[in-house]
Structure 1
Amino acid sequence: MSVGGPMSAGRSGADPSGGFDSAWCATDLGAYRPCRYTYQHYPYDSLPPLNSAEFTGTFRWLGGLREPVAKRVRALDRTAAKLAADGLELPADFVAFQTDSALYLSLDEVSVTGCWTDISAPLPSPVEPGAFLLRFLRDQQDCVIWYLYLRPSGETFVVYSGLDYEYEYQQWRDGAETAIELDDPEKQRSAITWCAPSFEEFAYRFWVENRLWRALHDDDLAGLEPWVRDYLSHYLPTPA
């Protein structure tokens, strides 16, 4: 990984969002990126671009992988078996992170809005047959919930929603009212937003932004690694 971190000079012209609207749901970065509420939906193209080639599943920016936790390996093995029955598999970067003894709570520990890891069972996509959602992170008040989105083609990316689909499906099975019609694919598509092409890219941006928030609000940017501070250079005015 380069000294400056996995930043990119720009984005390719390809649309990676899998047919969903794309955005990033997050809080402010001080004066660099204001936020009116706890969270705001920032256009994906407005974010600092990242170099996807740098994200190889090793999590070098977090110090690399350590020893797996047997209990977490067993839990994810059960999830993987359920997905395998539908011809799907968990992405390797997600498995490595979520089973690693040093990494798996990294997002919880850095979150400034009380987000916490909460991995669900596989949940059928309400948008397309054969695809599944897997919740992995949620805000403490469920303002936003993040999921892996897994397709039969092997394509996997990260999405977010204001809906807890595990709860919504339980309501539907119980004959109770749901927040939105689960059998209306177009309404459901509007409730799901693409936010990262891979789990590691999501984790990187989430981790960097939350560390920056703390440093900015504590007036301690100098205490951060240069490659973390470099993320803010995207928001500086372009010299004339």
Structure 2
Amino acid sequence: MRAPMPAPEAAARRNIDAALQSAGWHVQDFAELNLSAGLGVAVREFPLARGHGKADYALYVAGKLAGVVEAKKEGTLLTGVEVESEKYASGVPSGIPAHVRPLPFLYESTGVETQFTNRLDPESRRRRLFHFHKPETLAEWLDPEQNPPPLLPLENGKPAPRRRRREETFAELLSRTFDFDVFACVRCGGRRRVLAYVNKAGGVRTILEHLGLPTAGVRLAPARGPPQAAWC
């Protein structure tokens, strides 16, 4: 028989359960695992491979493991806790289907504070969150060419494929919004090409100074109240 969980840890689990459910996850005990419940299923006390213990929560997306949640009592400093979630992420048993190994989505939470790492990001780092991501969000990150359907249950445990809208470039946004084509040369009518992007402040300042253009930011006019009606 499992020993009862200390009160602070139990309170944190209740808060985490509620936060996951609020984000659209179906929270279950491992003994009652039912992956057909929905797109996202969060499983408590998920047993891992030998030497990796149990994940406080294992996150299933479309029938496959995608992430873990390391739970800590409220007030725990989360810095350094990611070592435990990384251990869980690399301990998925060989017979368990997973989208990526090690698991890419790592959460550490007290139920009040939550931090997150997305290992699919080329420059992955820990980020503070105000809430857990929806299962649909993780599904899109796992496969950008698919957009999960809003209706459940799923068909064959997979989201229905649908092409994501292509992101517009800044030049395309300018053209659509202001009818201004930045690639059209006003002198010869030809087309310009992008040779390099300069996004460092020092480089931008050097170019502006060479061209004799101002380098200081535009001074904003002070805010003013709305014009008063004639009868006021």
Q: Same fold per TM (> 0.5)?
A: no
Using CA pairs under 8 Å that are at least 6 residues apart, name the structure with larger relative contact order, 1 or 2.
1
In terms of fraction of residues, the more helix-rich structure is 1
Q: Provide the TM-score with structure 1 as the length reference.
A: 0.28
Q: Provide the TM-score with structure 2 as the length reference.
A: 0.29
Structure with max Cα Rg: 2
